Structure 1
Amino acid sequence: MAQYNKSDLERRMAGAIEALKGDLTGLRTGRANVQLLDPVMVTVYGANMPLNQVATVSAPEPRMLSVQVWDKANVGPCDKAIRSAGLGLNPIVDGQTLRLPIPDLTEERRKELAKLASKYAEGARVAVRNVRRDGMDSLKTDEKKGEISEDERKRLETEVQKLTDATIVDIDAAASAKEKEILGQ
């Protein structure tokens, strides 16, 4: 049985794109986005829990996030967790609701976030190239074992390269769109 598995390569490359999109979603663009608070961990009931497991996060306005804390006793810990998360957000406590105005991004901060988006994209490109290398290696191994011919190996290598190129184009498009969004273009 041949080692080469096209669907596995496709799945792994798609995983690199999904990871990139998740990373990019967490970057702030000046607009309210509920995923902005996904990395926030709150210490409640003697454990660290994601904010979305102790409260409902919504974006009622383009420049405002609302965090509806379910248990009144958790309002303080949620407030503290958001302030210390390094997101540059200062919650306004209103009963069991925390309102988070999204401040304007400075030009310097926008450039930092755009660089970070580029860094995330490069990490995804590296991951895709590693998957490509694994695919090429398994094709060479299959040829050495006599499971596929040289012509078949070359044909499949072209297929792997086309898949790699298409995935890199998707990565570049996602990163470029996010950079434009961050820079307000």
Structure 2
Amino acid sequence: MNIRTLDRGNEQEVAKLFHSVFSSSEGEGEGRLIGRLATALTARTDNQEVIGMGACEHGKLIGAIFFTRLRFKEPVEAYMLSPVAVSTAHQGKGVGQALIRHGLNSLKNRSASLVVTYGDPAFYSKTGFEVLSQDLVQAPRPLSMPQGWLGQPLFGDAIPILKSRPACVPEFDDPAYW
């Protein structure tokens, strides 16, 4: 398996992966929703505001992950990890964790200090994410499942208290994702 940066030329491949994975696990409606989101993020990938990474095996995309910048009023370099998908045939083999670790290392090299995500605590805790109180770091929009708001510092031991609500990239500025 190799991990590479995704670009606009990967739109169809990424859309197919996310639609398939989320339809399989969450139903067709969720598959369409997350497939559209992944397509929009791929189209906007600029390696600054939207960073996409893909895991490939034998030239085929088997997993993908996105990191998008969060803008707080406080001076902090923060990104949100979401969404991530691994083909059903490759789940349980460490592909998702490898993508996350690769992405976190890449963000450290960019001097980012905080990464948050909104997802399953059981999965993300395997790569160092912990449940976040919104008193510590707010989400860009109200959360339907606050226990899924997770984060980790990339430097030091503590996540800083950030009083401002962050702005997310426009693709995520939709209550359907929160």
Question: Which structure's residues are more often strand, by fraction?
Answer: 2
Scaled to the shorter chain, the TM-score interval is under 0.3
Where relative contact order (Cα < 8 A, 6+ residues apart) is larger, the structure is 1
TM-score, normalization by structure 1: 0.23
Question: Which structure's residues are more often helix, by fraction?
Answer: 1
TM-score, normalization by structure 2: 0.23
